Amino acid sequence: MELFRASYYNLLVQNGSTTLLFNGVTSSLLALDRATATAVMPLLANERSRTAGVGYNDWRPPTICAADLPGSFADRLPELIEAGVFVPASIDERDALRSSYARSRARAPLFVTITTTLDCNMRCYYCYQKDGNLEQMSFDTCDNIIEWTKEQLKAAGHPKLYVDWYGGEPMLNKAVIERYTAAITAHCDRLGVEYKASMLCNGTAWPDDARGFVARNRLRSIQFSLDGPERHHNKRRGLIDPNGRPGRTASFGEVVGLIGRLIGSTKIYLRVNVDPYIGRDALELIDICASRGWLDNKTRFYPYLAVINAMTDHCGFLGKSPKFKAFESEFDDIQAEFYTALRRYRDEKSLEVVQYFPTRVTINCAAVSDNAIVFGPNGLAYKCGLDVGDHHRAHGALGSNGAVDGSIQADALPVDRWQKYDPFSHPRCGECQYLPVCMGGCPKAQIDKDAAQIQMQSAFWENNFDRIIREYYAAAGHA
Ligand code: SF4
Ligand code: SF4
């Protein structure tokens, strides 16, 4: 007789008289009525705190067989196994998760991030691209990347290629985008390789024929960002003047006008940046988007909130400011309110697209994929976009033969610090009940031993998990 036990990654959330049972490995969500919950609770052995980073090694649920399950629950055993609620007693769940994570990293599609320039036409106070860094990608470097990409496709037989355009402001060097896309899409079409491109941009340096640019360059998704509603955004994100000084030219209208012209032609993510001074005013964006019809069905428009925090040495001052620190929990409340308001227009599926609801993370960031690379404008090769421009963090450089050479960059940090990233052997993450939906968060924070950033990630789950699960249940149409 096959024996089972409750998954460590089951998380129970009380929602009135209903108990919600979420499993992190399968992302399934079951609702148990009071009687069923009372009957199965001893088998689930799930009374534990919400603390992150502890517990796996002390997990001792009872071993059960089908006959131990109460009433109707017994008939549902196959379904419960499918949902990951019960796992075979003989397996080590964490080991299974670790193997699956390693497979995802090895099999990930070829993912090439290309930084066309480090220059930007804005000087956002929190941005790491500062003071007119004029590194621009040349056609020679672009051609070397084209050769490198072709070589990778040939050598590994990748069936898919994803390209992400990045900066600075990538649209300040449109010629490189057009050149690379024309060459590589023709090559992919010949080989039958699927090609997808995305871009992260500020929405200001676009040509009149914006839709033509999107179609020609096969942009399947674009991320724009606004720093809250117009009065906040324009104060923070003026376009620079011709001498490169921070300017006062308002950009809100231009970004919003561009989104209006592009809506429906590609997937659009709108990142709404929030700091303590923008605060709840960010919620006004919902009505602004709705009034323009962007929240209608089939627009493929996905707004989401992001707190402005310290992500690089440059903006480390934000992490230290008591005001920004105190704002973290307030932001969680604003975020909850934002998604509640958004649900007036959108179902839970569209919120899943912006990864608001917890789902199993197969790979937490392309930086730890075996098949991802980030090219700086001068051909230096990195793994994380935030390292670009910080030359000693490159792991190699692209030579004229189209190969990445680790010896070119004398003081390069070894690439294997990314390959060695392993949340399973991290003393806290390996023990953590949120591991399947978190995977340790940002790998850079772990590699750089940024304890504050990791703690913030843990605090997010500890403080918000239950509320988000209840919202997910409500968004799926339950009271
Ligand atoms: S490693 Fe962290 S900072 Fe770098 S791209 Fe990934 S999530 Fe972003
Ligand atoms: S970073 Fe994520 S996986 Fe690691 S301890 Fe915190 S919540 Fe858990």
For residue 384 and ligand 1, the question of a CB distance below 6 A is answered with: yes
In this predicted structure, what is the pLDDT of residue 85?
A: 94
Which residue, 292, 273, 266, 294, is CA-closest to 338?
A: 273
| 136-139: Cβ within 8 A, 24+ apart | 136/172, 136/173, 136/377, 137/173, 137/176, 137/375, 137/377, 137/378, 139/175, 139/176, 139/179
Q: Which atom of ligand 2 is closest in space to residue 428's alpha carbon?
A: 5
In Å, how far are 1, 322, 400 from 326, measured between CA atoms? 54, 6, 50
Taking the C-alpha atoms of residue 40 and residue 47, their distance in angstroms, rounded to an integer, is: 12
pTM score: 0.89
Cα 236 to middle of ligand 1, angstroms: 24
Distance 427 CA to ligand 2 centre (A): 10
The class that CATH gives domain 102-353 is alpha beta
Ligand 2 atom 7, closest CA: 458
Instruction: List phi, psi (to 5°) of 92.
Output: -100, 105
| pLDDT number for residue 401 | 72
Residue 367 Cβ < 6 Å to ligand 1: yes
56 lines ligand 2 (CB under 6 A): no
Q: Which residue has the tokens 């009505």?
A: 287
Centre of ligand 1 to C-alpha 252, Å, is 27
Q: Is residue 438 in contact with ligand 2, taking CB distance under 6 Å?
A: yes
Q: Is 129 in the pocket of ligand 2 (CB under 6 A)?
A: no
Tokens representing residue 148 in the block: 């490198």
Contacting residues for 262 by C-beta, under 8 A, at least 6 apart? 210, 211, 214, 222, 268
SS3 280: helix
- Answer whether 213's CB lies under 8 Å from 191's CB: no
User: Looking at the CA of 433, which ligand is closest?
Assistant: 2
CA angle 315/200/110 to nearest 5° reads 110
Residue recorded with tokens 């994100």: 237
Cβ of 443 closer than 6 Å to ligand 1, yes or no, is yes
Q: Using CA atoms, how far apart are residues 374 and 407, in angstroms rounded to an integer?
A: 17
* Packing angle of the helix pair 139-156, 174-191 (nearest 10 deg): 20
pLDDT at 358: 87
User: Chain centroid to CA 345: how far?
Assistant: 23
Q: How many Å lie between the centroid of ligand 1 and the Cα of residue 311?
A: 9
Distance CA 239, CA 445 (A): 31
Atom 6 of ligand 1: nearest residue by CA position: 365
Q: Which of 420, 381, 416 is nearest to 402 (CA)?
A: 381
386: Cβ below 6 Å to ligand 1? Answer: yes
How many A from CA of 62 to the centre of ligand 2? 26
Using CB atoms within 10 A of its CB, is residue 54 exposed (0-12), middle (13-18) or buried (19+)? middle
Confirm or reject: Cβ of 437 under 6 Å from ligand 2. Answer: no
Residue 129, token pair as written in the block: 């691209």
CA-CA distance, 292 to 294, in Å (whole number)?
6
- The pLDDT, as a whole number, for residue 404 is 78
Q: Residue 175 corresponds to which tokens in the numbers above?
A: 């010629």
User: In degrees, to the nearest 5, what angle opens at C-alpha 90 toward C-alphas 462 and 103?
Assistant: 65
Does 441 contact ligand 1 (Cβ within 6 A)?
Answer: no
DSSP state of 311: -
Segments of the chain assigned to CATH 3.20.20.70: 102-353
Residue nearest ligand 2's atom 6 by CA: 458
Residue 110 forms beta bridges with which residues?
Answer: 161
Phi-psi region of 279 (alpha: psi -120 to 50; beta: other; left: phi over 0): left
Query: What CA–CA distance (Å, rounded) separates 69 from 74?
Result: 5
Please report the pLDDT score of residue 479 as a whole number: 56
pLDDT along the chain (479 residues), means of 10: 92 94 94 88 83 94 84 80 94 96 95 94 70 80 96 95 95 97 98 97 94 98 95 85 70 94 97 94 96 92 85 49 76 89 80 76 93 95 90 85 66 75 93 96 90 87 91 75
Q: Token pair of 377, please?
A: 């404008």
Residue 313's pLDDT is 45
